[in-house]
Structure 1
Amino acid sequence: MSGRHNPERLAWIVLSSAFAVFCSMAVLIPLSIYGYMISATQPLPAELTSVRGIVLMGDANAGLSTSVTDGSTVTFSENYAAATDETSQAIITFADDSSLTLYGSTHISLQESEQPRFGISSNPSRVTVRLEQGRIRATAARSKTDLLFEIVTPHAVVTLDQGSYSIETDGENTQVTTRLGQADISSPQGEMSLSQGQRIVLNADTPLGRPLPAAQNLLSDSTFTPESLNNSWESYAIVPIESVTTTASVVLFQDQPVLNLRSQGEDNVHSEVGVVQMVNKDVRDFQSLRVFAEVRLVEQSLPGGGQLGSEFPVMLHVAYKDAAGNDRDWFHGFYFKPAPDNYILYDQPDNSSERIARGRWYPYESVNLLTTLGPAKPVFVKSIRIYASGWIYDSMLANISLLAEE
């Protein structure tokens, strides 16, 4: 018998269908609401502060049209970009106390900055920063379960756990250093993790290697070859008269290429010869900065460091700027011929010397310049110079490094 002739059966069918729809809606609507509450996001607020100089910012697609002056703070939103020049520095602070410090000549864009809209969501907040060039210090205030903090560089995606990290790229290479925490690296060459106190250098052509110690050499060329001179190392000489000849050359000594600084000719005449390498590195975020070198003194006619304590057969010179922007210098000299009592030999944090054995290689390691120089410590290293000065001298130097440690 059809439902047309059985109203009772038809009623039960309608009632059952309505109940099924009701039950479905009773389940699906809360699930949909719950799903929305779990997945819904809202912006994670951020602010940009110019710590020093003028910082440019603006929409990443429209250009950097806003200037943020020294000490000013502005809102920094998703899809914004910021850039510093060699004289400026900025910090981006997120609402969860995570932060991003931009050092000189750095360009970044904030691709993502969001957090769950509702407290019941277990999804992490997300911060994604693209580092186009320069050096940043990223501090993740929470673990990866609560904050997915990613730095995208031309060579890799770096995912940060709770901790502090340095990331630097110049277009050809990307360097990642962990001061505290763990960084996961994903690149076309493979994947790896960096633990505290480790770093890695990435580029497009080299397979992933093993993590390196956090200490890094700020010099582009630490050894000496004939090609080094007047390339990475620029030579110079100060010779007042023609009867004195100075040379800065690379010679082979004991099967090792070394830098040889010599003065020949008339004695008791001042001359100077040396080499300079430009460094141009911001070091304010490092904990240690030391100079390493191997020194060998062959000849020295002027005792000590001369009457004024400024003329040595080998002198190391680091030119830098302090936090106030002042140009400063650090010197350390080497000699083997004792100085008379009336000659000056400085023993100061920024100017010192030491007597070493003649004709023997001496491995030198400086003190930590970032602690011994106090308020006058370096924040930006301009250059390093190796030179000899005095009367007649003959000196050698090999394997110089300017090691900075996170």
Structure 2
Amino acid sequence: MQRLAWAILLAAFAACAGLAVLVPWQTLIYLRTAHVGTATRAAALVGTLLLRRGAGEEPVAITPGKVYPRVVEGDLVIADSQSQGLLIFSEPAPARDLATVQIYPNTQVEIRRARYPRFAISPEPARIFLYVSIGRVRVTRWEGSRALHLVVQTPHGQAEVLSGTLAVEVQNERTDFTVRGGISRVQGRESIQELGRDQRARIGLDGRVEGPLGAGRNLLPDLFQGPLPERDPEGPVPPNQWAIFHFVKQPGEPAGRVAQTAEAGRRALTLARTGFDHAQTGVFLILNQDVRDFRSLQLHLSLKILAQDVAVCGVVGTECPLMIRLEYKDVNGNDRQWLQGFYAIGEVTPQTPDRCLPQVCPPPYNSHVRVPLGEWYTFDSGNLMETLRAAGAPPAALTRLRIYASGHSYAVMFSELELIGEE
């Protein structure tokens, strides 16, 4: 009986001691590893995105002008040949963006992991794993309040985005990883290669990493190196130096405001004005860049329209809340321009056309792009060398680039401005 009593007493002590250790230990593990789904939303920029859910759930069609807020792990986003879209991953609180994914035509992206620690005391990072089976994406990592493990996987290998922006193009026989800014680590079957800005790596069917290889270079200097001076864009200006310009139609009316800002780790430039008559507010750059030997020239930009009071882009199509004007000389020495406008409010009518009218602007005529009000929108021009050659005005030298807001009252932000040239 005494031995049984001692056995019970010792077992009870061992159970008590075990529980005293295991309960706090398991509680600590739970606090460290518990997670919630990362807030993820999808938007169609052009055409219609198809969102395929789990078994038994109906696919979701995402159309332009609407943001679908309930994207979760396991979802497959499909863009057909006429579609482009955007995935945005955010912290739960405060609502800061963790990463954005630009989805190009003929692309399929599966969200394999999108997790955020449930408790603030957890040292674990947020985790976003994407699988691109085919097509092209551009992944940008933003700096939030917590570390982020951001990985893009493909049939041939994977890349971890350590900072900045990574472009990924997947074809049947290979994957190309191109760093547009920051650092990424590319991993194949047997090797790892770290890439910096404007470097590229390729992984083929054998899983071998080739690189670093050359990539197209950004022809534009950093817009955020320091304070921007104010200059006359038609006057003598040093090349490759950004400057601010203003135009006010009626004397005495207020000029606009240009300010360098940051939003959720994203460096941006804000253009804003409140007035009653026409004005322009923006920045410009003298390029003097010969492009006759270039095979590709592509402009990339992210923008957010906060406010505008002129429907669409005005009665002649020149008052968009954001406009891009690339001036150049063609092969015959004639002055030309490529103009692209963006708007968020209004409907296209004969009184508010969807492009700049011929009596005001020379060809080629690009349709203005409608973007969601108050949402970041990513724009890629496509290959301007091919576009302008098809329009009968192939460029020989780029002379000036202007990014500006036009209208009466407006507020817009833009960032990620790049002009990528490949020779």
TM norm structure 2: 0.52
Q: Does 1:76 align with 2:71?
A: yes
Q: Is the 8 A contact 1:185 1:193 kept in 2?
A: yes
Give structure 1 stretches of 5+ with no counterpart: 218-286, 295-315, 335-344, 351-372, 390-401
Q: Deviations over 1:334-356 (max 9, x none)?
A: 5xxxxxxxxxx623346xxxxxx
Q: Secondary structure at the residue paired with 2:209?
A: coil
Counterpart CA distance in 2 for 1:143 and 1:199 is 26
Q: Which amino acid aligns with 2:331?
A: G
Counterpart CA distance in 2 for 1:13 and 1:149 is 54
In the alignment, what sits opposite 2:109? 108
Q: Deviations over 1:130-176 (max 9, x none)?
A: 11222111122248982111111121111111322111112222111
Give 1:119 shift.
2.3
Q: Which amino acid aligns with 2:140?
A: T
Which of these residues, 334, 346, 360, is aligned with residue 346 of structure 1?
Answer: 334
Aligned-pair Cα RMSD in Å? 4.5
Counterpart CA distance in 2 for 1:318 and 1:21 is 71
Counterpart CA distance in 2 for 1:168 and 1:60 is 26
Q: Secondary structure at the residue paired with 1:176?
A: strand
Q: Deviations over 1:14-41 (max 9, x none)?
A: 4343222211111111112222222222
Residues 35/205 of structure 1: CA separation in 2 closer, same or farther (3 Å cut): closer
Residues 208/63 of structure 1: CA separation in 2 closer, same or farther (3 Å cut): farther
TM norm structure 1: 0.54
Give 1:89 shift.
1.6
Counterpart CA distance in 2 for 1:205 and 1:181 is 27
Q: Is the 8 A contact 1:163 1:181 kept in 2?
A: yes
In the alignment, what sits opposite 1:26? 20
Q: Deviations over 1:290-324 (max 9, x none)?
A: 73439xxxxxxxxxxxxxxxxxxxxx99999x999
Q: Mapping of 1:119-138 within 5 angstroms?
A: 119-138=120-139
In the alignment, what sits opposite 1:404? 421
Give 1:211 shift.
0.8
Counterpart CA distance in 1 for 2:290 and 2:156 is 29
Residues 142/152 of structure 1: CA separation in 2 closer, same or farther (3 Å cut): same
Q: Which amino acid aligns with 1:171?
A: N
Residues 199/10 of structure 1: CA separation in 2 closer, same or farther (3 Å cut): same
Q: Mapping of 1:2-401 within 5 angstroms?
A: 4=1, 7=2, 11=5, 14-59=8-53, 65-74=59-68, 75-96=70-91, 97=97, 98-142=99-143, 146-205=147-206, 207-215=208-216, 291-293=291-293, 332-333=330-331, 346-349=334-337, 379-381=381-383, 383=386
Give structure 2 stretches of 5+ with no counterpart: 92-96, 219-286, 303-311, 318-325, 339-364, 369-378, 393-418
Counterpart CA distance in 2 for 1:378 and 1:76 is 24
Q: Is the 8 A contact 1:37 1:120 kept in 2?
A: yes
Counterpart CA distance in 1 for 2:198 and 2:297 is 26
- Provide the aligned length of Structure 1 versus Structure 2: 261
Identity level (%)? 23
